[in-house]
Amino acid sequence: MDFSVLISIYRGESPAYFREALDSLFAQTLQPAEIVLVRDGPLTPELDAVIAEYSARHPLFRIVRNETNLGLGPALARGVRACSHEYIVRMDTDDIIPPERFAKQIARLEEGYDVVSCWSQTFEGDPSRVIAVKRRPEHHEEILRLAHRRSPVCHAGSAFRRSAVLGAGNYEDHPYYEDYDLWVRMLLRGCRFYNIQEVLYYVRTSRAMIARRGGWKYMVREIGCFRRFYRLGFYTPGDLLRNIATHSVVRILPVGVRAWALKRIWNTKQQ
């Protein structure tokens, strides 16, 4: 089954990390028919050089150009519409994947699921410096329950049906929560989810990333997201109050304490 890989890139990305991500993509045992790369605004000369080099070596790239930086949600929405195939595999520009990821996820999509993701391993600097392994529930009913508390799947490690995403309205512009918002709308439409019970995605993290996951601005956006889920009829009043209370505490912690708290949360099996 032919499939597309969807990636969005902006000028703040690291050329070295982007190379590592692409190398792991082209080391897959099952290769995509196309790579839809959304250039979200002007890039640096170094990133342009990486794209030119890999495009010449692997003529699979289909470039979508945004004249200005639209943000991840709108960029991915354009990318989904540009994909030629029903099966789409997501990936970020600074992460790494093991060789069997695509083959295992496409096989599960073939079984009839609409979204297939996996466990992810978070590392800092080098993949051997493991920070956490995020273990997510396997079956749809468990995933649905978890979605009432937090995003139930690894977004960049996901694969999905194009028709199911478009049927739910595609990605929207909800900074920090583009994926969770999409999953909720898909769950409300009856889409079926599955998480492969092994690490098929390696997520790069840093102290700066953890710092961005907190503060008043982040907390206000998060509360707005939770209120939206309540208005959509997905959250119950209890879900709304519990999630605002528990998540807000983490967002206002000092960065060092937040890093400790997040590490403990990430290493707890989510169910």
Question: What is the structure's pLDDT at 266?
Answer: 67
Tell me how far apart the alpha carbons of residues 223 and 228 are, in angstroms, rounded to a whole number.
Answer: 9
Instruction: Kindly report, residue by residue over 215-265, the tens digit of the pLDDT.
Output: 878 889 999 999 999 999 999 999 999 999 998 887 877 777 777 667 777
11 Cβ neighbours under 8 A, 6+ residues apart? 41, 42, 43, 44, 47, 69
Q: Please count the other Cβ atoms lying within 10 Å of the Cβ belonging to residue 110.
A: 11
Side-chain-side CA neighbours of 218 within 13 Å: the count stands at 15
Question: What is the structure's pLDDT at 260?
Answer: 67
Question: What is the structure's pLDDT at 269?
Answer: 67
> pTM score, two decimals?
0.94
Tell me how far apart the alpha carbons of residues 104 and 56 are, in angstroms, rounded to a whole number.
Answer: 28
Domain 3-214+253-266 bears CATH identifier 3.90.550.10: yes
Question: What is the structure's pLDDT at 125?
Answer: 81
Judge contact between 51 and 37, C-beta under 8 A: yes
39-50 core/surface letters (b: 16 or more CB in 10 A; e: else): bbbebeeebeeb
Please report, for the chain, the start and end positions of each structural domain, with discontinuous segments joined by +. 3-214+253-266
Tell me how far apart the alpha carbons of residues 79 and 56 are, in angstroms, rounded to a whole number.
Answer: 21
Q: What pLDDT tens digit does each residue of the chain (271 aa) get?
A: 899 999 999 999 999 999 999 999 999 999 999 999 999 999 999 999 999 999 999 999 999 999 999 999 999 999 999 999 999 999 999 999 999 999 999 999 999 999 999 999 999 888 888 988 999 999 999 999 999 999 999 999 999 999 999 999 999 999 989 999 999 999 999 999 999 999 999 999 876 676 677 787 888 999 999 999 999 999 999 999 999 999 888 787 777 777 766 777 767 767 6
Q: What is the 3-state secondary structure (H, E, C) of 10-33?
A: CCCCCHHHHHHHHHHHHCCCCCCC
Question: What is the structure's pLDDT at 255?
Answer: 73
